[in-house]
Amino acid sequence: MSRILIVMSAADVWNRTDGSSYRTGYWAEELAAPHEKFAEAGYDIDFASPGGVLQPLDEHSADPEVAGPDCGRYVRYAQKVLSEFGSPLPLDEVNADDYVGIVVPGGHGPVVDLYRDADLGRLLCQADDAGALIGAVCHGPAGLLSAVDPDGNWRFAGRRMTAFTDEEEQLFGTAENAPWLLASRLRELGAEHEEGTPYQQYNVQDGNLFTGQNPASSSRMAEDMIFALGARRPRLAQAPSPETE
């Protein structure tokens, strides 16, 4: 088995505390860069989302002034692989046992729906129980908040992780009127949240949990997961050469 599941948000709007609406969607680099790395390493990749809804592109991730000079390549790659895959799988129909890793990219969508999605919470708990790898980048770690047991205990309390920081949210211009800030919420619920320089690559690994702080951390997250998965593969015993008479 060598399948990776990328879990997308289904949200296209982030409602703000002042009554305004912020258009959102998947962040191209955070979806494309991990997908590309896993595909190059030989993994099959599925997409899933709440209700099987295909989330639109966050247009900010297609703006070179916001997302950097390579954003056009990531946008084209993401649109291509999403089109080839078709409708995402509905989360409530997904079995975690079918995957060696689950990845949650960002865009602001995860702070709208995935943070409280019971089906994602079930998948993450099953994956964690099985020792499968879990990756999340930027706002993707909001999805980790869904993994709550019937007694209200958060599965990832006490774990080391990183996510889009409060400072980065402020610099991006979306901290004011945000219903809540991701890094602060993770700390409040017991995560050992770590952070690096704003908008620079920063990654944290804690056992089977791999997190990246921002879009620049997307490729490294996937590379770290691929390395860990490779280390787990049993070495094939070399068959002895048949004896010749």
State the DSSP code for 9.
P
Q: Which amino acid is at 174?
A: T
3-state secondary structure 97-152: HHCCEEEECCCCHHHCCHHHCHHHHHHHHHHHHHCCEEEEECCHHHHHHHCECCCC
Q: Are the C-beta atoms of residues 30 and 109 closer than 8 Å to each other?
A: no
CATH topology classification for 3-232: Rossmann fold (3.40.50)
Beta bridge partners of 133: 101
pLDDT on residue 231: 79
Q: Are the C-beta atoms of residues 146 and 118 closer than 8 Å to each other?
A: yes
* In the chain, domain spans: 3-232
Q: Are the C-beta atoms of residues 61 and 79 closer than 8 Å to each other?
A: no
What pTM does this model have? 0.93
Rounded distance between C-alpha atoms, residue 200 and residue 213, angstroms: 8
Average confidence (pLDDT) per 10 residues, the chain, 245 residues: 93 98 98 98 97 98 97 98 98 97 98 98 97 98 96 96 98 97 98 98 98 98 97 50 37
By three-state DSSP, how is residue 100 classified?
coil
Residues contacting 26, CB < 8 A, separation 6+: 8, 9, 55, 56, 57, 58, 61, 78, 105, 106, 107, 109
Nearest 5°: the CA angle 82, 211, 190 is 130
The encoded tokens of residue 82 equal 């999403």
Neighbours of 16 (CB within 10 A): 14
Beta strands in 16-56 (DSSP E): 21-23, 44-49
By three-state DSSP, how is residue 149 classified?
coil
pLDDT on residue 234: 53
The encoded tokens of residue 179 equal 């219903």
Phi-psi region of 52 (alpha: psi -120 to 50; beta: other; left: phi over 0): left
User: Which backbone phi and psi does 130 adopt, to 5 degrees?
Assistant: -85, -5
pLDDT on residue 232: 72
Rounded distance between C-alpha atoms, residue 30 and residue 36, angstroms: 10
